[in-house]
Amino acid sequence: MLYSRTKGGTARVKIINVVGARPNFMKMAPIIDAMNRYPKQIRHLLIHTGQHYDEKMSKAFFDDLGMPKPDIDLGIGSGSQAEQTGKIMIAFERVCLTERPDLVIVVGDVNSTMACTITAKKLGIKVAHVEAGLRSRDMSMPEEINRLCTDVLCDHLYTTDRIANENLRKEGVAEDKIHFVGNVMIDTLLKHKQMASQLDLRQALGLESDGYATLTLHRPSNVDDRQVLQGIFEALREISSDLPVVFPIHPRTRKMVSEFNLGHYFNENKPVAGIWLTEPLGYLEFLHLNMQAKMVLTDSGGLQEETTVLGVPCLTMRNNTERPITCEMGTNVMVGNQPSEILTQAKKVLSGESKPSRIPEKWDGHAAERIVGHILETCCTWQTGDEARI
């Protein structure tokens, strides 16, 4: 494999870090921070595939997380699953042939994760997957297919919990590929928690601490069927008669709300009551609101983890989760997308019947340090003489 040499004769491993969508930014930011502590050993590039790209929101996330501007932006944009994956592979192959990295690091489970893994492996480049081993066992989810394909190919599998370790073992993954490091999403949360708490957004919106809920909703199973989406909104409207619901709406969901003529469920004014629709929020703004919410309603993956650490009740509007640790130890309750169960569990929270929460092992803010430590320990042999190898 290739490497670059410093003046003292020490080699630097060359790493490409890949992000494709906003949740990837939160996972990659602490890894980049950890790598920056070893400039003599690691040279790294940040590649943004542009799989999901909104200039205003992407800039807000990069600014909030203190991430550097991407070294290369592939600008792929939207498209069908196959079209998007193919475009990413073509563009990323050119990057790999030009930059010739020693290691590619992918995070999460978006199309960019799988596409860049396949591309790098076909070029003989080692790949590490951060957040490996998560499984929903739901093959109707594109993310589950991405996770399975990525994990079977990668050389280093960095897991968030011991359930993920067992998933990989049952799939026949060699033990020496599995590395339990903890959760980089929680690294980001713990680093920015105090900064987020100092914002004045809640007060500016007229919200009382513990006096509102936050909502995210974007998965096709919830928003692409008019009957399902309307049923969810009916349940949310009933909840919002007791507790204002702040809804930073995802562009996909906004499009479907318009197509299905469901805009009458929302209040576009300050959330004295009802479901209050806002534009998407930056990372710090949304963390600020979630930290002080009575509950979070979501179909997201990452929020299940964040609410577990924050100790905020989380109702996940899905029938399965790739993060069962958040139900076993955390505040997460799976409620599906039927109005009756959403209402039943929301009323339990409103009456003070929230489940207790414990912090999973190694969700301590140091996962990225463990990842980079492993890379330095096992991927590189440093010598001051003639040789350095990956």
Q: What is the pLDDT of residues 1-30, one digit of tens each?
A: 333 444 444 568 999 999 998 889 999 999
For residue 11, the model assigns a pLDDT of 63
Q: Which residues are catalytic?
A: 218
Proportion of the chain in helix, strand, coil states, percent, rounded to 5: 45, 15, 40
For residue 54, the model assigns a pLDDT of 63
**What is the DSSP secondary structure assignment for residue 389, as one 8-state letter?**
B
Structure tokens at 41: 């050993």
**What is the DSSP secondary structure assignment for residue 2, as one 8-state letter?**
-
For residue 174, the model assigns a pLDDT of 97
For residue 22, the model assigns a pLDDT of 87
Residue 186 CA from chain centroid, whole number = 10
For residue 383, the model assigns a pLDDT of 32
The low-confidence residues of the chain, meaning pLDDT below 70, are: 1-11, 53-59, 268-273, 380-390
For residue 202, the model assigns a pLDDT of 92
Q: What is the pLDDT of residues 242-277, one digit of tens each?
A: 999 999 998 889 999 999 999 999 876 655 568 999
The Cα-based distances of 370 to 27, 84, 175, 192, 374 in angstroms read 14, 32, 17, 19, 6
In order of start, what are the domains of the chain with their CATH numbers?
4-183+363-379 (3.40.50.2000), 195-350 (3.40.50.2000)
- 42, 13 contact by CB (below 8 A): yes
CA distance 322 to 171: 15
Q: For residue 338, which of 314, 313, 318 has the smallest C-alpha distance? A: 318
**What is the DSSP secondary structure assignment for residue 354, as one 8-state letter?**
P
For residue 273, the model assigns a pLDDT of 66
CA distance 229 to 246: 17
